[in-house]
Amino acid sequence: MSLNPEKNRFGTLAVTPEEKTSRVRGVFDSVADRYDLMNDLMSGGLHRLWKDRFIRMIRPRPGLRYLDVAGGTGDIAFRVKRRISESQNLRKEKTPSEIRRFRDSETPITLLDLNEQMLRVGRDRAIDRGWLGGFEWITGNAESLPFPDNHFDVYTIAFGLRNVTHIDTALAEAQRVLKPGGRFYCLEFSRVDNPILKKIYDAYSFGVIPQIGQIVAQDRASYQYLVESIRAFPSPNRLKLRMQSAGFARCDALKLSAGIVCIHSGMKT
């Protein structure tokens, strides 16, 4: 199995790997300010339900180190923080060991994104919610994470892996920075199996989404690429094999909404 077969494709366009990374950065620089609004419009709000299901699968709890990659606007990290806060407030009376564990949970949630503009949006959203701390915002590439080996307990990436130039390299990096027993979770668009639904989905994706991008974000080309990138992303079974090749065990895939999206998970042994 050849590594990183997507590295020379930007949607349907043939490019060099360096050009792909640059173009992806340009896409998200362009759409950052309207990114969350566009997600609501394109999915009819379903992306919120998908992300909530993602968090329930992760089951965030205090005392762990979390890394959210391609998470600039904070949607996943904020959900993780809220879930941890909820778990801390379940009991008013806590034992000394629980107090120490909850104090340890004050370790910031780390967000890494290729795009400074996306991180800026996320920081502004955190401030709007009254969260002046609790997060670490880092501009970086999923293919070369600026963290030591065996550092995080949980690695998340939502709707970001398909935009990475070298997916197999990013999977290997995820495996490297996770502690033994650490969990990898990826929420990503996938393949619709039902033939009738697939025709409807394709018609909507290629006919409507770029038009919404033009009207709302004044950027049809970026959303045309995003639709094309979904179709180019590997199937759940294919991604499972690539996760296993990167060193993950207990790999699994959970399809949601008839296969429109899928939650991929694995463990570092």
**pLDDT score at 228:** 94
Question: How does pLDDT run across 1-25, given as a tens digit for each residue?
Answer: 678 999 999 999 999 999 999 999 9
The confidence band for 88, taking pLDDT boundaries of 50, 70 and 90, is confident
User: In this structure, what CATH number is given to the domain that contains residue 205?
Assistant: 3.40.50.150
Per-residue model confidence (pLDDT) at position 97: 61
Structure tokens at 258: 């008839």
DSSP H stretches of helix in the chain = 17-31, 35-43, 46-58, 75-88, 96-104, 116-128, 167-177, 195-207, 209-217, 220-232, 236-245
pLDDT score of 104? 45
Categorize the per-residue pLDDT at 38 as very low, low, confident or very high, splitting at 50, 70 and 90. Answer: confident
SS3 161: helix
Which position has the higher pLDDT, 106 or 179?
179
The pLDDT confidence band at residue 86, using thresholds 50, 70 and 90, is confident
> Which residues in 191-200 are b (16+ Cβ under 10 Å) and which e?
bbeeeeeeee
- 194 by DSSP, 3-state: which? coil
More confident residue, 216 or 175: 175
Output 34 or 68, whichever has higher pLDDT.
68
Is it the case that residue 99 has pLDDT exceeding 80?
A: no
pLDDT of residue 143: 98
At 76, the pLDDT band (50, 70, 90 cuts) reads very high
Q: Report the predicted TM-score, pTM, of the whole model to 2 decimal places.
A: 0.92
Q: How far apart are the first and last CA of the chain?
A: 23
pLDDT at 155 over 90: yes
Is the confidence at residue 100, as pLDDT, over 60? Answer: no
Q: How confident is the model at residue 98, as a pLDDT?
A: 55
Reference 156, options 182, 121, 122, 194; nearest CA is 182
> Of 48-62, 206-220, 237-251, where does mean pLDDT reach its minimum?
206-220
| Phi-psi group of 194: left, alpha or beta (phi > 0 → left; psi -120 to 50 → alpha; rest → beta) | beta
Q: By residue range, what is the domain housing residue 230?
A: 5-268
Q: Give the pLDDT score at 156.
A: 98
The token duo for 102 is 């909850």
pLDDT: which is higher, 167 or 45: 167
pLDDT 10s digits, 129-139: 999 889 999 99
In the chain, % of residues over pLDDT 90: 78
User: Domain tally for the chain?
Assistant: 1
Tokens representing 90 are 């379940």
Distance CA 134, CA 110 (A): 9
Residue with tokens 């701390």: 133
Q: Helix 220-232 vs helix 209-217: angle between axes, to the nearest 10 degrees?
A: 150
Nearest to 175 by CA among 167, 162, 184: 184
Closest C-alpha to 182, from 192, 174, 170, 171: 174
